[in-house]
Amino acid sequence: MATASQPAAATPSTPDKPLIVLAGATGQLGLLIAHFLRQRGAPVRALVRPGAVAGAEATSLRLQSVEVVAADYSDPTALIEACTGASCVVSALSGLREVIVDAQTQLLDAAVAAGVPRFIPSDFSADFTRLPDGSNRNFDLRREFQRRLEQVPIQATSVLNGMFMDLLTGQAPVVLPGPKRVVYWGDADQPLDFTTMTNTAEFTAAAALDATTPRYLRVAGEVASIRGLQAAATRATGQPYKLFRVGGLGAFGKVIQVTKALMPASSEVFPPWQGMQYLHNMFSGQAKLAEPLDNDRYPEIRWTQVHEVLAGRQ
């Protein structure tokens, strides 16, 4: 049994419990993926940047018997050694070009050199694969990395989960509890995909341990239109919510351009204009996940609904 001062020993890998290497394990999603991998009994090796190995997140990982390895992404030899023996490398990194393209490529190259058979990139998003370049800065970076991923001999699986449902009670200015409005642009009946971060992590852990995954896995805890969000907010709070249509998608595009010009914040991963690009991609239907979804692939997962998340805000 681990104690706060004495973390448990790392779990050894066996043929039926193969080692998973997890990059970005100290992040919000990464910590949850590590937790669900350990819940399934999998040995986990977390690649953590040297500056974070003494942090609380790394301690939390060790307390779950995760092996924490200091990883310098610019050192290919050390990165190959860190990937050696893994059945799958999972990336939960977050950042801009130097992370999504550069660090993930270093990780991918190390995984290939170490003979790792499978790789799950840090996609965890709406379906960026069919979007035109320039419509979402962060998705452009994912497609750029995807082109590299498809050129190397490794079995890649992307988990596409729509928007994190948790954002409906935070960053995403859609369901507004003050004025009791659901704010949108475009069509109130356009289906939108939402999944909690916890469900995404649970599904990703299962996928990491499943040697037969296809190139894409698409999940959504709930597919809800704006009218569906209105019903969910009303149900969650017991108070009537109204719709507020700000305008059409063309006007939204212009607002995004103006916001980006006035508040570029280009070094931020999620500046306000990028969040607006994300909503535009969803409201237009271009980033909608193709159905049928893969929700039932691991039947033990219970998918959290929008009204449950909104009720939790109260």
Ligand X SMILES: NC(=O)c1ccc[n+]([C@@H]2O[C@H](COP(=O)([O-])OP(=O)(O)OC[C@H]3O[C@@H](n4cnc5c(N)ncnc54)[C@H](OP(=O)(O)O)[C@@H]3O)[C@@H](O)[C@H]2O)c1
Q: Which residue has the tokens 């017991």?
A: 238
Residue of 13, 60, 65, 94 that binds ligand X (CB under 6 A): 94
Grouping H, G, I as helix, E, B as strand and the rest as coil, residue 132 is coil
Residue of 35, 66, 87, 124 that binds ligand X (CB under 6 A): 124
Spatial strand order in the sheet of 67-70: 67-70, 44-48, 19-23, 86-91, 118-120, 155-156
Q: Taking the complex as a whole, how short is the minimal distance between the CB of residue 289 and ligand X, in angstroms? A: 11
Sign of the torsion formed by the C-alpha atoms of 17, 148, 122 and 58: positive
Give whichever of 7 and 30 is closer to ligand X, judged by the CB atom. Answer: 30
Six-digit token pair at 230?
A: 């209105």
Give whichever of 156 and 163 is closer to ligand X, judged by the CB atom. Answer: 163
Give whichever of 70 and 180 is closer to ligand X, judged by the CB atom. Answer: 70
96: contact with ligand X by CB under 6 A: no
Q: How many residues make contact with ligand X (CB under 6 A)?
A: 24
Residue of 11, 64, 87, 125 that binds ligand X (CB under 6 A): 125
27: contact with ligand X by CB under 6 A: yes
Q: Of 25-33, 79-87, 178-186, 291-299, which segment contacts ligand X by CB under 6 A?
A: 25-33
Give whichever of 98 and 268 is closer to ligand X, judged by the CB atom. Answer: 98
Helix (H) or strand (E) holding 181: strand 181-185
Cα 191 from Cα 266, distance rounded (Å): 30
Q: Of 4-12, 120-128, 284-292, 296-304, which segment contacts ligand X by CB under 6 A?
A: 120-128
99: contact with ligand X by CB under 6 A: yes
26: contact with ligand X by CB under 6 A: yes
52: contact with ligand X by CB under 6 A: yes
Give whichever of 30 and 221 is closer to ligand X, judged by the CB atom. Answer: 30
Residue of 85, 95, 177, 272 that binds ligand X (CB under 6 A): 95
164: contact with ligand X by CB under 6 A: yes
Query: Are the C-beta atoms of 161 and 203 separated by less than 8 Å?
Result: yes
Q: Of 20-28, 61-69, 82-90, 247-255, which segment contacts ligand X by CB under 6 A?
A: 20-28
Helix (H) or strand (E) holding 62: helix 56-63
139: contact with ligand X by CB under 6 A: no
221: contact with ligand X by CB under 6 A: no
Q: Burial level of 258, CB count in 10 A (0-12/13-18/19+)?
A: exposed
Six-digit token pair at 54?
A: 């003494």
Q: State how beta strands 242-247 and 175-176 pair.
A: unpaired
One-letter-per-residue 3-state SS of 113-148:
HCCCCEEECCCCECCCCCCCCCCCHHHHHHHHHHHH
Q: Taking the complex as a whole, how short is the minimal distance between the CB of residue 226 and ligand X, in angstroms? A: 17
Q: Look at phi and psi of residue 281 and say left if phi exceeds 0, alpha if psi is from -120 to 50, else beta.
A: alpha
Sign of the torsion formed by the C-alpha atoms of 203, 207, 210 and 216: positive
Query: Are the C-beta atoms of 182 and 243 separated by less than 8 Å?
Result: yes
Q: Of 44-52, 143-151, 225-233, 250-258, which segment contacts ligand X by CB under 6 A?
A: 44-52
Q: Of 26-34, 176-184, 222-230, 299-307, which segment contacts ligand X by CB under 6 A?
A: 26-34
Q: How many CB atoms lie within 10 A of CB 164?
A: 23
Residues at the site binding ligand X, with contacts judged by CB under 6 A:
24, 26-30, 48-49, 52, 73, 92-95, 98-99, 103, 122, 124-125, 161, 163-164, 167
